[in-house]
Amino acid sequence: MNLSRYLRDKRKAVDNSLKDYISLKKKQKDIPKQLLESMAYSLMAGGKRIRPVLCIASYEAAGGKSTSILPIAASLELIHTYSLIHDDLPSMDNDDFRRNRPTNHKVFGEATAILAGDALLTDAFNFISEKKADPAKLIRVIQELSHASGPCGMVGGQAVDIILEGTKAKKKDIIYIHTHKTGSLIRGSVRIGAIMADAPAVKLRSLTEYGEKTGLAFQITDDILDIIGTKEEMGKSTGADSAKGKNTYPSAFGLENSMKIAELLIDEALDCLRVFDKKADPLREIARYILLRRN
């Protein structure tokens, strides 16, 4: 299979679904113009859409065939975008650049940025609830998504990341941060795809494990790229983790060791897919890509 083409095609499909969402919002006269601009500014900033793509790839690996997965997959990007807007705030990571552009609060001010994040988070659940599909399945998706992105998942990871900033965290805390701040939503994305495809329990378990391992590997390579990547490749300032006293895998385990851990995780993730046929090839290629990516 051709991974670049796969990623490009799926990203385009997700982008179209997100454009539909913004168009729909524009038609709703009750939404303040400036708020919608702030939401669209970050949502349409051209991310990799890795979470929606993983959701689609997992759906396909589990035998799902229709494009009806799209709004569900796109809602993952609403959650991811809200988390970036809030994480970039001055009282959080205080970042000025994201995806080669000024961060949301630099353009729209802090208050509107906070509210745009709140709006995207709330709309992720609205977007799913408006979908025509078996309600029992939609409720399971909402359970997954709210758990993965809530205080026992993504928000929990971000909280510990910030609380321990500038201190030397224990290794178990660094593992907590990484598996929650980033890992949790990636794991959730994979699980949601599998649930929408009615994957049997044993396949759901394998895909969950795949999601956990690639999710952790993704954050470790993110830490590594913050050290060895360039600002142009990353679309944001690099070296920021170390300057802020962030607890990262390289800071705790060393750069080379972190690379080895990421490689091992990807090997294990691939192993989780051994019972799947070639419909899981995109998941396999994405796992390999995580190791090789430059942004």
The least CB distance from residue 209 to its own copies, in Å, is: 17
Closest by CA position to 184, among listed 153, 163, 225: 153
Distance of closest approach, residue 197 Cβ to its own copies, in angstroms: 18
Is the distance from CB of 84 to CB of 28 less than 8 angstroms?
A: no
Q: Which two tokens stand for residue 193?
A: 């795809």
Say how far apart CA 293 and CA 36 lie, in whole Å: 32
Residue 279, both tokens: 């419909």
Q: What is the amino acid identity at position 176?
A: Y
CB of 257 to its own copies, least distance (A): 26
Residue ranges that bind its own copies, judged by CB under 8 A: 25, 28, 30-32, 34-36, 39, 82, 86, 89, 91-92, 109-112, 114-115, 117-119, 121-123, 125-126, 128-130, 135-136, 138-140, 142-143, 145-147, 149-153, 155-156, 158-160, 162-163, 180
| Cβ at position 127, least distance to its own copies in Å | 8
Q: Which is nearer to its own copies, 162 or 255 (CB)?
A: 162
| Residue whose token pair is 């030397």 | 168
Question: Of 133 and 255, which CB lies nearer to its own copies in the complex structure?
Answer: 133
Q: Work out how close the CB of 193 gets to its own copies at its nearest, in angstroms, rounded to a whole number.
A: 18
Please say which residue, 89 or 107, places its beta carbon nearer to its own copies: 89
**163-185: string of b/e by CB count within 10 Å (b at 16+)?**
ebeeeebeeebbebbbbbbbbbb
Answer yes or no: are the C-beta atoms of 112 and 31 closer than 8 Å: no
Q: Which is nearer to its own copies, 52 or 153 (CB)?
A: 153
Residue closer to its own copies by CB (options 101, 137) is 137
